[in-house]
Amino acid sequence: MAADRTHRIDTLDIIWRYLLILLNLQQVVDSLWCFCDPCHDTISNSSCLAKEGSKCFAAIIAKVENDLPIEVWSYGCLPPESTVLQCQGDLVPHSTPQTIACCDWEDHCNRDLRPTFIERSTTPIPGHRTSTHFDTTSKIVLCVSLLFVILTIIGMTLAYQRYCRGGPMRPQYIDEEDQIHPYNTGECIKDLINHSSGSGSGLPLLVQRTIAKQIYLIKSIGKGKYAEVWKGKWRGENVAVKIFLTTEEDSWFRETELYQTVLLRHDNILGFLAADIKGTQLFLITDYHDNGSLYDYLHSHTLNAVDMLRLAHSAISGIAFLHAEIFGAKGKPALAHRDIKSTNILVKKNGTCCIADLGLCVKYISETNEVEIACNSRTGTKRYMSPEVLDDTINRNHFESFKQSDVYSFSLVLWEIARRCVHKGIVEEAQLPYYDYASNDPSFEEMRKVVCVEKKRPLVPNRWSSDPYLSKMAKVMSECWLHQPAARLTALRVKKTLGKIKLDMELTIKQ
């Protein structure tokens, strides 16, 4: 409260100072500057400032010196009490004849006055204004304009100060998950996105800033090496808030850049809502999915063949979409994920998957045949790295190399999914790939030895061969984790194969 009171006092002080300046300006605007010669109370060079109600004058005094008549000219500012008397033609007693002419239509108007002894005319010389009405109106307009400009500056200053004080707020938390956010105005996030460009770049940027400042964080739902994910609420709807570590600004920037500049609106790509920086926190706000990651889902659920193929087909559909280049006004470049793993794949309510965490994506620009690699310190997950990445033989100038590496990583995800499929009452427990060959946090050398030197792959249980769908899954994954990158299936080929298996199964069930 004390800070707010001080802020209000500062604001009133600023306004008062501006008003004083305006009053001074008003005085200067309303004053009349006259040419003076000789000058007695000179304010500036050969000029005097007439008082309110005064006029400028030019006068001639007739004198006789050495028996010769001479004229003495003088210019200056008349005192207010002398203006009416002298300038209306009433002679003031003088010991010598004199004549005078007055004016007030503009500054230094008396410089060109030519009074004569024949008549005292206050008629301005041709080309000058005869009325002061326009001068008064002009002064009023000028003062109003100055007042408007000053008030505008004050308003902008106050708005900027308020933004600087209130902008980078700390996260806000609520305890009850079902509490409705006070900003719930009836328009949901889906409607806002549908009303935007539809390019998949989330909400309009101004709305993104609004969302980031209005979100309430509920609870932490995951924490990794590079970021922490929170469940939040905005307008009564659940959202996921990924808060990056301050050292991972490059990853946040890369993911934000991709979402905001590339068409990524797809059922199997995590929906992007907004991105913002609050203080030192880097926020990425996306759709929220109750089931969490595929890794968590597989640890808490067993699958039947339908579930297994739904998860696998939807996940590869998202990867195939990333890999594909779309031409046209709203097209997209080809992208490679580079960090495919079960924790970077989320499970939606309908049992399908969507791909998340695009911070390591590689972009292919076909017009220049350029591979744009993200500049950040992240290197991916060692357990899921392909042989060519582990032994550093991958061709970084060839975009297909990164796509082939993604396919290898996905084959390990397929293995994780298939293990949880129940067949004849038997199912394996959820495990990470190479759990029986490597430690919990393997090093590069450890994984390179297992994958590249010993050329081991995850064990395929014998029971899979007796199930028509598990056996087909085993065949697909074995063709995706081949040691030679060029021999692996493409993401599109895997998508079509799994799609055909899924369709055959659905037809069989209907029959």
Q: What does the pLDDT look like over 426-473, one tens digit per residue?
A: 999 999 999 999 999 999 999 999 999 999 999 999 999 999 999 999
CA distance 204 to 242: 19
User: Helices (DSSP H) in 303-398: which residue ranges?
Assistant: 305-323, 387-390
Residue 361 neighbours by CB distance under 10 Å: 22
**How confident is the model over 16-49, as pLDDT tens digits?**
555 555 555 555 555 678 888 888 765 667 788 8
Is 101 buried (19+), middle (13-18) or exposed (0-12) by CB count in 10 A?
buried
pLDDT, residue 310, reads: 97
- At residue 251, the pLDDT reads 82
Q: What is the pLDDT of residue 173?
A: 43
Range among 133-142, 217-226, 324-333, 360-369 with highest mean pLDDT value: 360-369
Give Cα 318 distance to the centre of its chain: 27
CATH topology of domain 172-287: Phosphorylase Kinase; domain 1 (3.30.200)
Query: Burial of 290 by CB count in 10 Å (0-12 exposed, 13-18 middle, 19+ buried)?
Result: exposed
Question: Which helix (H) or strand (E) element contains residue 471?
Answer: helix 468-480
Query: The tokens of 289 are what?
Result: 């999915």
**CATH homologous superfamily for the domain 294-510:** Transferase(Phosphotransferase) domain 1 (1.10.510.10)
Q: Which residue has the higher pLDDT, 44 or 201?
A: 44
Mean pLDDT: which of 114-123, 198-207, 369-378 is highest? 369-378
| Alpha carbon 447 to chain centroid, angstroms | 40
Band of the pLDDT at 7, cuts 50, 70, 90? Answer: low
Distance of CA 178 to the CA centre of its chain: 29
Report the pLDDT value the prediction gives residue 17, as an integer from 0 to 100: 58
Name the more confident of 315 and 139.
315
- Quick one: how far is CA 193 from the chain centroid? 16
Report the pLDDT averaged over residues 229-238.
88
17: Cα within 13 Å, side-chain hemisphere = 8
State residue 376's pLDDT score: 62
pLDDT at 287: 93
Q: How far is the C-alpha of 18 from the C-alpha of 26, rounded, in Å?
A: 12
Which DSSP letter does residue 491 get? H
- CB-based burial label for 57 (10 Å; 0-12, 13-18, 19+): buried
How large a percentage of the chain has pLDDT more than 70?
A: 73
The region of weakest confidence among 289-303, 407-421, 497-511 is 497-511
Q: Which residues pair with 233 in a beta bridge?
A: 216, 238
What residue type is 492 in one-letter code?
A: L
pLDDT at 233 over 80: yes
**How is the chain split into domains, by residue range?**
2-28+144-166, 33-130, 172-287, 294-510
Band (pLDDT 50/70/90 cuts) for residue 216 is: confident
Higher pLDDT, 313 or 84: 313
Residue 279 or residue 369, greater confidence: 369
pLDDT attached to residue 378: 65
The verdict on whether 339 is a catalytic residue reads yes
Instruction: Tell which wins on pLDDT, 160 or 152.
Output: 152
The Cα 129–Cα 488 span in angstroms is 92
pLDDT in the model for residue 72: 81
Residues contacting 285, CB < 8 A, separation 6+: 208, 211, 212, 215, 232, 234, 239, 240, 241, 242, 272, 273, 274, 275, 276
Has residue 160 got a pLDDT over 80? Answer: no
Which range scores top for mean pLDDT: 224-233, 317-326, 361-370?
317-326
Distance CA 353, CA 291 (A): 10
**How far is residue 346's CA from residue 291's CA, in Å, rounded to a whole number?**
7
Give the global pTM: 0.62
pLDDT of residue 322: 95
Instruction: Tell me the CA distances in angstroms from 153 to 4, 11, 15, 26, 159, one per residue in order.
Output: 21, 12, 10, 18, 10
The mean pLDDT of the chain is: 79
- Report the percent of the chain where pLDDT is more than 90: 41
Element (H, E) at 73: strand 68-77
Topology (CATH) of 33-130 = CD59 (2.10.60)
Catalytic residue among 339, 357, 406, 467: 339
Distances (CA, A) of 23 to 12, 18, 54, 150, 400: 16, 9, 20, 12, 73
Residue 22 host element (H or E): helix 2-30
Give residues with Cβ within 8 angstroms of 352, minimum separation 6. 267, 268, 310, 311, 314
Residues in CB range of 463: below 8 A, 6 or more apart: 423, 424, 426, 470
Task: Please name which of 202, 180, 205 lies closest in space to residue 193, comparing C-alpha atoms.
Answer: 202
| Length of the chain in terms of residues written | 511
